[in-house]
Amino acid sequence: MYISSRTIFVISVILTTFLIFHSFNNVSFHNYYDQAEFIRGFMNKDVQEKGPFDHVYVVLSSDLNLYYFVHMPIIVQYWKNFGIKTYLMITLKEGERIEDDKAAKKVVEFVEGQGAAVAYFQSKKIKSGQFAQTLRCFAAGTEFAHTLDPNNTIFITSDVDFFPSKTEFHVPNLTKGEEILFYDKSCCGDINWKGVKFEMYIMITIAMTLNRWRETMGLSHVVPVDSDFVEDYTNQTFDGEVNKMDQWGQWFLDQKFFGLKFWQWKRTHRKEYHQIIRNIDRRGKPRLERNHWPKDEELERIDDIWKAYESAHITPGIFLDNVWAKNLLFYKKIFPESQIQQFSEFRDSVIPLMNITETMRRHYHPEQNAPYWNETFSQKGMLGNGT
Residue 342 lies in a domain: yes
188 and 299 co-located in one domain: no
108 and 225 co-located in one domain: yes
Instruction: Determine the distance from the C-alpha atom of residue 236 to the mean position of all C-alpha atoms in its chain, rounded to a whole number.
Output: 25
274 and 291 co-located in one domain: no
Q: What is the 3-state secondary structure (H, E, C) of 41-62?
A: HHHCHHHHHHCCCCCEEEEEEE
217 and 302 co-located in one domain: no
- Choose one of 245, 280, 315: the last residue of a domain: 280
184 and 103 co-located in one domain: yes
Instruction: Determine the distance from the C-alpha atom of residue 268 to the mean position of all C-alpha atoms in its chain, rounded to a whole number.
Output: 27
- Give yes or no for a contact between 157 and 136, defined as CB atoms under 8 angstroms apart: yes
- Choose one of 215, 246, 280: the last residue of a domain: 280
61 and 201 co-located in one domain: yes
Instruction: Determine the distance from the C-alpha atom of residue 309 to the mean position of all C-alpha atoms in its chain, rounded to a whole number.
Output: 20
Supply the range of the domain harboring residue 307.
Answer: 287-377
Q: How far is the C-alpha of 19 from the C-alpha of 22, rounded, in Å?
A: 5
Bridge partners (DSSP) listed for residue 196: 193
How much is the pLDDT for 240? 83
291 and 275 co-located in one domain: no
Instruction: Give the total number of structural domains in the chain.
Output: 2
301 and 260 co-located in one domain: no
What CATH number has the domain bearing residue 234?
Answer: 3.90.550
317 and 235 co-located in one domain: no
Strand 311-313, strand 162-164: pairing: antiparallel
Residue 387 lies in a domain: no
- Choose one of 236, 255, 280: the last residue of a domain: 280
Residue 29 lies in a domain: no
Q: How far is the C-alpha of 56 from the C-alpha of 323, rounded, in Å?
A: 31
Residue 47 lies in a domain: no
Residue type, 76: V
Chunked in runs of 10, what are the mean pLDDT values of the chain (387 residues)? 47 44 39 35 42 92 94 98 98 94 97 98 93 97 98 97 95 94 83 83 94 97 97 91 76 89 92 90 88 93 96 94 95 98 98 82 65 71 59
Residue 143 lies in a domain: yes
275 and 293 co-located in one domain: no
Residue 216 lies in a domain: yes
Strand 162-164, strand 117-123: pairing: unpaired
109 and 220 co-located in one domain: yes
How much is the pLDDT for 56? 98
Residue type, 316: P
303 and 213 co-located in one domain: no
Residue 15 lies in a domain: no
Bridge partners (DSSP) listed for residue 85: 57
